């Protein structure tokens, strides 16, 4: 085993997760830290910035000409209703809402009174909603999203000749990570290609060296490799459907637990 190979199997003591700190004390990350005596820090590598009303108007989108809205995140919900408020638009009672998860559907209640027959909820991924889109093919969908988003929903709608309009309502940009310049972690955990881009944006001369990289999802994994970095931990796996599960399998191996 060469020295560089050995570096990939050094014991893990610290992890930086490129997401906000979990609000619940029951997060599996906290359980992982306690179980293996790890230092786990959280830091969003990306931030969102709303589009201005002027920028939104340039898209020439008439919100009320649509009969259904697709929400894939809390950010999309927040920024969408902020635009509606600024434009003095009140959502009609017969508007349908398609939410990617129960969490998103629950959050939607912050802004509107939900009528069950007008709400369609997926389990966790965009694919969970595809059957709903097929069953409600006659709707005119509005898809509020970031300028950086996955292709799965627009591609499915286009391939099935379903009428939809994509509305860019916020931008995803790199967060300032300059304070992390001289700080190293054994593992960096990423959940999106945007996180990888932020790393390279903040540290153009980033050298991976002994740092291991974990990625969730095929597009994030591809982004790691496209940047010429070594992907040490890939999630989900058949025996580890979550990021924390994949991390734990790796830690058990390299920490000789």
Residue 12: which of 31, 34, 33, 38 has the closest Cα? 38
Residue 257 is predicted with a pLDDT of 73
Sign of CA dihedral 70, 73, 76, 77: positive
pLDDT at position 5 is 64
Tokens of 112: 């509107």
Tens-digit pLDDT profile for the chain (257 aa)? 444 566 788 999 999 999 999 888 889 999 999 999 999 999 999 999 999 999 999 999 999 999 999 999 999 999 999 999 999 999 998 999 999 988 899 999 999 887 777 899 988 778 888 999 999 999 999 999 999 888 899 999 999 999 999 999 999 999 999 999 988 999 999 999 999 999 999 999 999 999 999 999 888 999 999 999 999 999 988 888 899 999 999 999 999 87
What is the structure's pLDDT at 88? 96
| Residue in 143, 163, 155, 124 with CA at minimum distance from that of residue 242 | 124
Q: Which residue has the tokens 């990625």?
A: 215
pLDDT at 58: 97
Q: At what angle do helices 218-226 and 193-202 cross, to 10 degrees?
A: 30
* pLDDT of the residue at 2: 46
Q: Give the single-character DSSP code of 237.
A: B
> Which pTM was predicted?
0.76
How many helices (H) and strands (E) in the chain?
10, 11
Residue 92 tokens, joined: 């009609």
């Amino acid at each position: 085993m060469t020295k560089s190979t050995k570096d990939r199997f050094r014991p893990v003591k610290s992890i930086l997760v490129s997401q906000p700190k979990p609000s619940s004390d029951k997060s599996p990350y906290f359980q992982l830290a306690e179980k293996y005596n790890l230092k786990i820090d959280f830091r969003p590598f990306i931030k969102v910035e709303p589009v201005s009303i002027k920028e939104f108007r340039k898209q020439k989108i008439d919100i009320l000409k649509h009969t259904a809205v697709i929400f894939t995140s809390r950010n999309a919900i927040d920024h969408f209703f902020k635009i509606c408020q600024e434009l003095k638009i009140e959502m009609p009672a017969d508007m349908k809402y398609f939410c990617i998860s129960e969490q998103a559907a629950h959050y939607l209640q912050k802004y509107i009174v939900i009528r069950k027959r007008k709400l369609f909820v997926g389990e966790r991924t965009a694919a969970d909603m595809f059957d709903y889109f097929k069953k409600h093919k006659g709707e005119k969908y509005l898809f509020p999203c970031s300028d950086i988003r996955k292709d799965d929903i627009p591609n499915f709608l286009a391939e099935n000749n379903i009428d939809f309009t994509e509305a860019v309502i916020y931008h995803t940009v790199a967060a300032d990570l300059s304070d992390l310049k001289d700080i190293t972690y054994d593992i960096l955990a990423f959940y999106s290609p945007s996180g990888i881009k932020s790393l390279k944006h903040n540290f153009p001369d980033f050298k991976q060296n002994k740092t291991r990289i974990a990625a969730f999802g095929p597009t994030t994994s591809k982004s790691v490799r496209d940047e010429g970095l070594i992907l040490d931990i890939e999630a989900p796996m058949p025996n580890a459907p979550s990021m924390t599960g994949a991390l734990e399998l790796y830690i058990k191996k390299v920490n000789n637990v």
